[in-house]
Chains A and B, each alone.
Chain A
Amino acid sequence: EIVLTQSPGTLSLSPGERATLSCRASQSLGSSFLAWYQQKPGQPPRLLIYGASSRAAGIPDRFSGSGSGTDFTLTISRLEPEDFALYYCQQYETSPPFSFGQGTKLEIK
């Protein structure tokens, strides 16, 4: 089973700043089958990025994904107040289980 490790656990930033979230896989995701989700309290996750770098429908272009192999990054270029939330990465390499990272909490500084 592929294990995903996200860092940092908590990221404290101010609106307008740039956020960089990391997701590291225990083995290479050969086809970049890596997704990012945002979750706010009391809501289901919302797909942001799939295929490591493709934005989902309706996602603002301040969200971008990059990386390959074992190291992936979600970048939010200029934080808006509504961006403070939990963020999860998920791998869907070849076959299940499609594991999630443990999450990064993005909080207002």
Chain B
Amino acid sequence: QVQLVQSGAEVKRPGASVKISCKASGYTFAIYYLHWVRQAPGQGLEWMGIINPSGGSTTYSEKFQDRVTLTRDASTSTVYMELSSLGPEDTAVYYCARGTGYSDYWGQGTLVTVSS
């Protein structure tokens, strides 16, 4: 069965960076793009970016363009999301989700807490 398993919760200081992993299984990794979406406490869903696991090409939301980097390791079917220059407003649950446009499978989410 299709699974996206994300790394565990993180606590970071303001100004630091965080790198979250998303390991895919149960399907051919190269075929489906992977999105990253975040959700601040009590807030809605915010689309951050997308990566093509086949070639590694990426597209980012303008809001995060200067701070986010998506990468992948095809040998382990894993994608990574790194967000730099963290501030308290980056406290959120971060999700990876499979799909070229809409997303049919989602990871369980990773809580990132930014606090001094």
B45 touching A97, Cβ below 8 Å: no
Q: Would A47 and B103 be within 8 Å (CB), given that A95-B59, A96-B61 are in contact?
A: yes
How many chain A residues touch B (CB < 8 A): the figure is 24
B44 on interface, CB distance cutoff 8 Å: yes
Contact residue among B44, B45, B49, B102 (Cβ-Cβ distance under 8 Å from A96): B49
Contact residue among B45, B49, B108, B109 (Cβ-Cβ distance under 8 Å from A100): B45
Q: How far is the CA of A102 from the CA of B44 in the complex (A)?
A: 6
Interface size class of B (residues with CB under 8 A): 20 to 34
B95 on interface, CB distance cutoff 8 Å: yes
Main SS class of interface, A? loop
User: What is B's interface to A at a CB cutoff of 8 Å?
Assistant: 35, 37, 44-47, 49-50, 59-62, 95, 97, 100-104, 106-109
Known: A50-B101, A97-B47. 11 other contacts (CB 8 A): A35-B103, A39-B45, A45-B97, A46-B106, A50-B104, A57-B104, A88-B44, A92-B100, A96-B49, A96-B59, A98-B50
